[in-house]
Amino acid sequence: MRREKDSLGELDVPDHVYYGIHTCRSLENFDCAGEPVPIEVVYGMVKLKWACAKANHALGLLNKEKTQAIEKACQVILDGGHDDQFPVDVFQAGSGTSSNMNVNEVIANLAAVQLGGKPGDRQLVHPNDDVNKGQSTNNIFPSAIRVAAVTLTDPLMAEVRRLIDELNKKADAFKDVIRSGRTHLQDAVPEMMGQAFAAWAHALTKDLRRLEASRDRVLEIGAGGNAIGTGVNTKKEFRPAIARELSEITGKAYRAPENGIEITQYLTDMADISSVLRLIAADIGKLCNDLRLLASGPNTGLAEIVLPAVEPGSSIMPGKINPSICEAANMACIQVIGNDQAVQWAAAAGQLELNTHMPVTGYNLVRSFNILARTARMLADKCISGIEVNEERCLSYFETSGGLGTVLNPKLGYDKVAELVKESLRTKKTAKQLVIEKGIMTEAEFEQLVARSTAPNLD
């Protein structure tokens, strides 16, 4: 053990750890979640510490030796070699002070070792005076959540695009398969099965546009605002310098805030991107509900499509196959919607110059990003790519659909078509059979009319 001292007194710290006395106190105090702050948020803080060190050096406030040692320490952490050094519980002081100090201590001690010292040697690199120079937890922690969100956006978008690609492949494969549409779960007008898949793909494409727009807003960071966002004890050039250095480190276009006080006390930008994740979850959930309905059966349901079998569906009913992938995805989406609810409540719970609900915001936001990325990948690979269509069943529903008569409206009018539909349901004859029998139109004319109904915008 080594003995360390802070403003509250002295404490023993294990020799083998790189964190220090503040972290040890936090470990004694906080244990609500039973799990640490997401490593993505920790890495966000580390990137900010790196950027701040470079900015301080450029402004003549941190010497080259310390700056380089801090940079190397940050690089080592970001390589994943010290994840176990960040054990502080998620539910801590509301601004994330414990985690900020945890990061400061680990970086300082790694830097001290770089300079020939040992952990706890504050004379070489001080966690507050050097690593945290010009910073406040109030700005660093929320900025770290923003960095984490920006970092996680690319992999999520890649997985959603993968899902979109698989849906579009099926849209092309099923473009000639006609089916009966349904509204209110009742027969409606016809469409091609490919059109159904294309609509699902387009909904997710719109979600990606929303995600890109919300990501732009979290590229604005408040680091360097200090305490309430006024930038106390720092030079005017510090905040834009941090954004510039962070952009160079990450390859992302971060920028200083338009209003430093606003960005310190409001978490709305993070709530905004969380709400987009909720919308993605809602659209993926709706997609899964549709797939489960269309695959229901095989003998007593719709059975228009066949989902790939991934496991036996029952421990008591031999041969039963369930839409397991879609069910797993549905539950994942429900979780994301719940995560967003926590983020929205946290964003609304600030008081005066600071919102003290930052860790729960970062925790739920990161979880949602990761859950959605894995869910989109699972759905694309384990479900969509292997879907087959039951053309015979689709044709049967199309021919007997009560909604098929709707395509006759322009020719016969609503009232006459309503009578035909009633007769069809009563006699079990299709709309096609009735119009041909009654001499209303030929088979060729009817087929042409139906074909036009699935492409209403074409001349």
Q: How far apart are CA 53 and CA 110, in angstroms?
A: 15
Per DSSP, 100 falls in state: H
Q: What is the structure's pLDDT at 458?
A: 46
- Joined together, the tokens standing for residue 64 give 């080259």
Q: What is the structure's pLDDT at 263?
A: 95
Full set of structural domains in the chain with CATH: 2-133 (1.10.275.10), 142-218+264-391 (1.20.200.10), 402-453 (1.10.40.30)
Cβ(78)–Cβ(45) under 8 Å?
A: no
Sequence-separated (6 or more) residues with CB below 8 Å from residue 159: 372, 373, 374, 376, 377, 380
Handedness of CA 305, 308, 314, 317 (dihedral sign): positive
Q: What is the DSSP string of 162-183?
A: HHHHHHHHHHHHTTT-EEEEEE
- Joined together, the tokens standing for residue 411 give 């020719």
For residues 14-35, average pLDDT: 95
Q: What is the DSSP string of 25-69?
A: HHHHH--SSSSBPPHHHHHHHHHHHHHHHHHHHHTTSS-HHHHHH
For residues 68-83, average pLDDT: 97
Residue 314 appears among annotated catalytic residues: yes
Q: How far apart are CA 295 and CA 163, in angstroms?
A: 19
**Residue type, position 184, single letter:** H
Residue 214 appears among annotated catalytic residues: no
Sequence-separated (6 or more) residues with CB below 8 Å from residue 98: 22, 23, 26, 29, 30, 88, 92
Long-range contacts of 289-297 (CB under 8 A, 24+ apart): 289/326, 289/330, 290/196, 290/200, 291/323, 291/326, 291/383, 291/387, 292/323, 292/326, 292/327, 295/323
Q: What is the structure's pLDDT at 48?
A: 98
pLDDT at 234 over 50: yes
**Residue type, position 73, single letter:** A
Long-range contacts of 294-297 (CB under 8 A, 24+ apart): 295/323
Residues 303-322 have pLDDT tens digits of 999 999 998 888 888 888 99
pLDDT at 77 over 90: yes
Per DSSP, 233 falls in state: T
CB 393: neighbour CB atoms within 10 A? 19
Q: What is the DSSP string of 282-335?
A: HHHHHHHHHHHHHT--SSSS--SEEPPP-S---SSSTT----HHHHHHHHHHHH
For residues 97-114, average pLDDT: 97
Q: How far apart are CA 379 and CA 397, in angstroms?
A: 27
Q: What angle do CA 189, 194, 197 make, to 5 degrees?
A: 95
Residues 135-156 have pLDDT tens digits of 999 999 999 999 999 999 999 9
Helix axes 97-114, 137-173, angle to 10 degrees: 100
Q: What is the structure's pLDDT at 147?
A: 98
Q: Output the average pLDDT for the chain.
A: 94
Q: How far apart are CA 358 and CA 347, in angstroms?
A: 8
pLDDT at 456 over 70: no
184, 324, 396, 453: the catalytic one is 184
Q: Is the pTM higher than 0.85?
A: yes
Helix, strand, coil in percent for the chain, rounding step 5: 60, 5, 30
SS3 state of residue 370:
helix
Q: What is the structure's pLDDT at 423?
A: 86
Cβ(399)–Cβ(432) under 8 Å?
A: yes
Residues 351-395 have pLDDT tens digits of 999 999 999 999 999 999 999 999 999 999 999 999 999 999 999
Pseudo-torsion of CA 267, 268, 271, 273, nearest 10°? -110
Percentage of residues in the chain having pLDDT higher than 70: 99
Residues 202-213 have pLDDT tens digits of 999 999 999 999
314, 357, 368, 385: the catalytic one is 314
Longest C-alpha distance within the chain, in Å?
Answer: 99
CB 172: neighbour CB atoms within 10 A? 11
* Residue 145 CA to its chain's centroid (Å): 13
